[in-house]
Structure 1
Amino acid sequence: MWARWLNVILGFWLVSAPFVLDYRLQQAQLNDLCVGLGAMLLALAAIAIPKLRYANTVLGVWLIVSPFLLGFGGYRAATLNDIIVGLLITALSLVWDHRDWTPHRRPLHA
């Protein structure tokens, strides 16, 4: 579950990054805001429903390729931030959680 909480923190960082790193490009700002909010919400949901963590895998991969697909690959701060955070989100979303494989037991009736 610790990996989900780290993804919540990374999502919060993404929402803050355009202001902290002073992105001037609207595509980078909007991308980080949307992906950051999505990553936070999905990570929080994955705490309750562990298989939802794979949705953050998709967001992480998107974050890695988005600077080049959205046309801000030449902006160093935004691009490096998105690639690094994208790799971290992807890796953390693939961290195994024992709850994924623990069978649910039904209570015994007396």
Structure 2
Amino acid sequence: MENWTNSKLCDVANLILGAVLFLSPWLFRYDAGAVATNAHIAGIVIAIIAIAALAAFAVWEEWLNLIVGLWTMVSPWVLGFQGTRAMTVHVVIGIAVAILAAIELWEMSQHPPRLTTHG
């Protein structure tokens, strides 16, 4: 039960992080072009994965969240918006999402979910 609770808390945190990333162009007043589009798309993907994980757990969700978190973290260098407020937002949220996904993946490796009720 403890792992279930930790997993759900990580998923709720990812949902919040996805929403903040989505809203970040308005909250932190930065570029309305490709940088904002990246924030919107990555934020929506993170939030959708978190909602899916809250509804029904699956390992692929955590791997996908790890990938999206890593993308969000490196996107300032790939898209060329280093040294900006948008970079700070993307890197911090990307690191947080990737760490939360890694924690959930590590917990799963330590305590795999039981598929049966007997045993």
Provide the C-alpha distance between the structure 2 equivalents of 1:23 and 1:63, rounded to a whole number of angstroms.
Answer: 16
CA contact (8 A) 1:25 1:72 kept: no
| Counterpart for residue 39 of structure 2 | 32
2:48 paired with 1:41: yes
RMSD: 1.7
What aligned pairs does 1:47-86 form with structure 2 within 5 A after superposition? Answer: 47=54, 48-51=56-59, 52-74=61-83, 76-86=84-94
Moved more, 85-94 or 21-30: 21-30
Moved more, 48-57 or 30-39: 48-57
Structure 2 unmatched ranges of 5 or more: 1-7
Residue 57 of structure 1 aligns to which amino acid in structure 2? L
Moved more, 62-71 or 41-50: 41-50
| Counterpart for residue 3 of structure 2 | none
Provide the C-alpha distance between the structure 2 equivalents of 1:66 and 1:85, rounded to a whole number of angstroms.
Answer: 12
Residue 104 of structure 1 aligns to which amino acid in structure 2? L
Task: For residue 102 of structure 1, report the CA deviation from its aligned partner.
Answer: 2.4
Structure 1 unmatched ranges of 5 or more: none
The number of aligned residues is 105
Provide the C-alpha distance between the structure 2 equivalents of 1:102 and 1:15, rounded to a whole number of angstroms.
Answer: 31
Deviations 1:10-56 (A, max 9, x none): 00001110001111251110000000000000111122123112101
| Counterpart for residue 103 of structure 1 | 114
Structure ID, larger Rg: 1
Moved more, 76-85 or 45-54: 45-54
Deviations 1:40-96 (A, max 9, x none): 00111122123112101000100111111111113x210011000000000011223
CA contact (8 A) 1:27 1:72 kept: no
